[in-house]
Structure formats: structure tokens, C-alpha cells
Structure 1
């Protein structure tokens, strides 16, 4: 038999303490109303890593070159991860192994490219990982 002194929560929000008396109803607290409408943020002008604000051509060349190299490195690393994932999905030891055609369909590759990525990924998986002994 439940204790009559403790209010039963229906998980619909916080409860206020019951009024004095054992059988008093439990009062629910409501969230406070907004008294103002929050200002809508005006969209900022589009910036590309603040390159458009650099006026010195030498500095612009240096910064844009740094970004291009960083993006190339990131794209190469992402491609390696794609290849590893493709190789893992095509692993014949998996009960749900996918064919290169099925992998190609998932990521909009050609079946030939998917097959090459699977082979590349298998090569990456065979390499010892750096930093591990």
C-alpha cells in the first residue's frame, strides 16, 4: 500500500509541495511565460576562414596555401578511413559482408572504384599502426 504522505509523480514535471493535510491534491508547477520575444539573430555575412578580410596579398597567399594544404591532408585522411571502412564491410569473415557493388551503391561510387577502395583499405589494415608497441 503506497504511503499517503508522499505525492505520486506521473513524470509530467516538477511538483509543488502539497498543501497541509494528508489527502490534499498535488499541485503542478508550470514553466514561466516569456515576457518578450527573443531577438532573431541576423545572419552574418558568409566568411571563408576570414580570407576575404585579408588585404595584404602576401598574407592572403600564405594563409590560403596553409588552408589548402590542411584541407588536402584532411581529405586524404578521410579517404583512408573510407577505404578501411569499405575493406571492413567487404571482409568475407563477416556474416553480413557486402560486395563492392553494394558498397558502391551506399556511397555513390562506381563498383570498380569500390573494389579498388576495398583493396586499398585491406592494405591499410595490414600496416602496423603508429604509436603501438
Structure 2
């Protein structure tokens, strides 16, 4: 089981800030990590970013699922098939079916967005 400090840290990931376009154009630049000389500080900051990216990816996935469920809603006159959704999202059709169901669960439970 995770230590209490680890659980608390996972609940408060570092904020993701957009980098200036000139910084993101430099392939060696990544959220200023390359400028951190202290290995302990580098580990701490890169861990914060890892947790933040995971949290952002999880949240974005939930929004994808809700959107997929809404697009597949049989009450919509313009509803899409799971094959259409899969093509748009660049997913396999089986994955699209799972995402539609996940989105429906989120919407049913009031977590849709």
C-alpha cells in the first residue's frame, strides 16, 4: 500500500503550464527540466510532472469516453457507429465500444465532464 505522503502527492499533481512557443520548439527543452542541476530536485520535479501528465491523461480519457458515448447515443439523429467513432479517434473498433460504455457509465454516474 502507498505511504500516506505518496497518496497525498498523487491527489495534488503539479500544474501543467504551457511552455512558450520558442521553448517548446527546442527539442532539448522540456518544462525547464534540463536546467535543474541537483539530481534530487530533478527527480522531484520530473516526478511531479509525471503525475500531472498521468492525471491529465486520465481526465482527457474521461472526456473522450463521454464524447464517444454522446456521439453513439441512439437518440441522436446524427449518431455515429462505433466504427465511425473509432476512425475519428484513431482507435480500434473494440476499444471504441469500450470507451462508449465507459462514457455511458460516467454519464449515468454524473461524472460526465
TM-score range for the pair, normalised by the shorter chain length: 0.7 to 0.9
Q: Output the CA distance in 2 between the equivalents of 1:50 and 1:128.
A: 38
Q: Output the CA distance in 2 between the equivalents of 1:60 and 1:83.
A: 34
Task: State yes or no: 1:53 paired with 2:35.
Answer: yes
Residue 107 (structure 1) shift = 1.4
Determine which of 80, 89, 93 is the counterpart of 2:62.
Answer: 80
Greater RCO between the two (CA within 8 Å, min separation 6)?
2
4+ residue stretches of structure 1 with deviation over 3 A? Answer: none
Residue deviations 1:33-69, cap 9 Å, x none?
Answer: xxxxxxxxxx667211110000000000000000000
Which sections of structure 1, spanning at least 5 residues, go unmatched?
Answer: 1-42
Structure having the higher Rg: 1
TM-score by structure 2 length? Answer: 0.73
Residue 128 (structure 1) shift = 2.8
Which sections of structure 2, spanning at least 5 residues, go unmatched?
Answer: 1-21
Q: Output the CA distance in 2 between the equivalents of 1:102 and 1:90.
A: 9
